[in-house]
Amino acid sequence: MKSLHRIYAEMLVSRGLAILGSFGVAILTARMLGPADRGHYYYVITLAGLAVQLASLGIHSSNTYLIARAPTLLAQIMANTAWIAVVGGVIAAAGVMAVDFAFDDSTPSYVLIAVVLVLAPSLLFFMYLSNMATALNRPRTFNGLVIFSSAASTGMALIALYPSPSLNGFLCAAAAAAVLSCVLGWAVLAKGIEIPRKFDYPLFSRGIAFALRAHVATLFGFLMARMGVMVIREFGNFSDLGYWSIAAQLCDALLVLPATIGLLLFPSLVRAEGMMRWNEFKTTLVQLSAVMAVLCIVAAVAAHLFIELVFGAAYVPAVAIVMALLPGIFFISVGSVASQFLSASGFPWSQVLAWVFGALLQASVSIALFGKVGIVGLAWIQSGCAAVVCTWLLVNSRRFRARHE
């Protein structure tokens, strides 16, 4: 059996390759579209991401929990998640678009509507499928799916350059890549398995109590990460959103390490008992904190040169945003380890409240101060609220330590 460190290394390599793909798309859209349309592109992708979070119901977390304990449930879980992804994803996408158009005086874009209606359920389904691979202890399958998804995104973006690059072309390319990734993911995981067609309500009910807590926490965590996008869209302009999108792209790349470790750590913590769970959590926490501190410092030093060389001088204003977001990246990374420990310990409501409080605090402060502090101040507000959530989760983790002694 391969060591956990080797599994981590292989998955990080695959995610690193995936990052190259996402940066390829970011570079193409940034240089071909300019700050304003790049901001518009990122806003549409964010709307689809919001629909994914609304529709997910935390099922990906409960799927991981259930499959890790009973792999024989895979066939029915795949059937259930297919129904949830398609039906729930489309409904959530329609709801998000309806709210967006209610606050927007411009003429609705039918291409934008179609892209979000396709992209949201596709991204949701792919998230379910890739999480199942980790729950089944098939990291190579997960790695392959992630790499394929990234390659598909890059390939479709390159196709969108012809005959001439456009905002609608890049958006359609993103939707097509997501659909292709789902087709491959389903084909790989369903191989040799007879998937039932009916939705299993008892199984759904079995995981929903756990899933809903995960859903609320994940939703509000996503809102914290994308709060700046919504505030800038409402009170700023698409050019500012374009600068923010580049800064967010760099910071999201740094979060790949804690996200990858979290994917593998959670099933491991679920299987661990007593003090073994606490000790594994503590070791991971110390190691990840040290690594992320170094990565954030390196990113701060290299940000200006990297952005100017890769994305162009037009995006240099994003450097100040990166500097302000980096402390929050560190705190979110540390807090993610505590979240995995608490999730494996039963997902207490106090964990959920941490993210709800953080999102509400960030929303109120961001809206109140945006006119005075601008987009850079908005990034500092995000980092400060991340520190609050991280502290809450760490304190909560120490409280749960007594249950493992």
Non-local CB neighbours of 186 within 8 Å, separated by 6+ positions: 78, 82, 125, 129
The rounded distance, in Å, linking the Cα atoms of 336 and 21 is 24
For residue 112, being part of any structural domain is answered with yes
Long-range contacts of residues 308-311, Cβ cutoff 8 Å, at least 24 apart: 310/23, 310/27, 311/26, 311/27, 311/30, 311/31, 311/246
Specify the pLDDT at position 337.
87
Q: Are residues 353 and 281 in the same domain?
A: yes
For residue 172, being part of any structural domain is answered with yes
* pLDDT, tens digit only, all 405 positions of the chain: 455 567 667 767 777 777 888 888 999 999 999 999 999 999 999 999 999 999 888 777 777 777 777 778 888 888 989 999 999 999 999 999 998 888 776 777 888 899 999 999 999 999 989 888 877 878 788 888 988 999 999 999 999 998 889 999 999 999 999 999 999 999 998 888 888 888 888 878 877 766 777 788 888 999 999 999 999 998 988 999 999 999 998 998 888 878 877 766 666 676 666 677 777 778 888 888 999 999 999 999 999 999 999 999 999 999 999 999 999 999 999 998 888 888 777 778 888 899 999 999 999 999 999 999 999 999 999 999 999 999 999 998 887 665 545
Specify the pLDDT at position 315.
94
C-alpha distances (whole Å) from 330 to each of 4, 163, 289 are 23, 42, 8
The rounded distance, in Å, linking the Cα atoms of 285 and 276 is 14
For residue 243, being part of any structural domain is answered with no
Q: Are residues 97 and 175 in the same domain?
A: yes
The model carries a pTM of 0.83
Q: Are residues 150 and 81 in the same domain?
A: yes
For residue 164, being part of any structural domain is answered with yes
Q: Are residues 147 and 32 in the same domain?
A: yes
Using alpha carbons, select from 149, 103, 116, 122 the residue that is nearest to residue 48. 116
- DSSP letters along 309-325, please? HHT-GGGTTHHHHHHHH
Non-local CB neighbours of 268 within 8 Å, separated by 6+ positions: 4, 280
Specify the pLDDT at position 263.
65
For residue 21, being part of any structural domain is answered with yes
For residue 241, being part of any structural domain is answered with no
Q: Are residues 308 and 166 in the same domain?
A: no
Per the structure, the complete domain to which residue 336 belongs is given by 212-235+248-405
For residue range 88-114, what is the model confidence (pLDDT) as tens digits? 999 999 999 998 888 776 777 888 899
Q: Are residues 225 and 192 in the same domain?
A: no
Q: Are residues 159 and 225 in the same domain?
A: no
Q: Are residues 273 and 192 in the same domain?
A: no
Q: DSSP E strands: which ranges in 72-147? A: none
Q: Are residues 6 and 49 in the same domain?
A: yes
**Number of folded domains in the chain?**
2
Amino acid identity at 100: D
The rounded distance, in Å, linking the Cα atoms of 131 and 128 is 5
C-beta separation of 224 from 389 below 8 A: yes
Q: Are residues 156 and 226 in the same domain?
A: no
For residue 65, being part of any structural domain is answered with yes
For residue 372, being part of any structural domain is answered with yes
Q: Are residues 222 and 133 in the same domain?
A: no
Q: Are residues 193 and 269 in the same domain?
A: no
- Which of 140, 174, 199 marks a domain boundary? 199
The rounded distance, in Å, linking the Cα atoms of 328 and 383 is 4
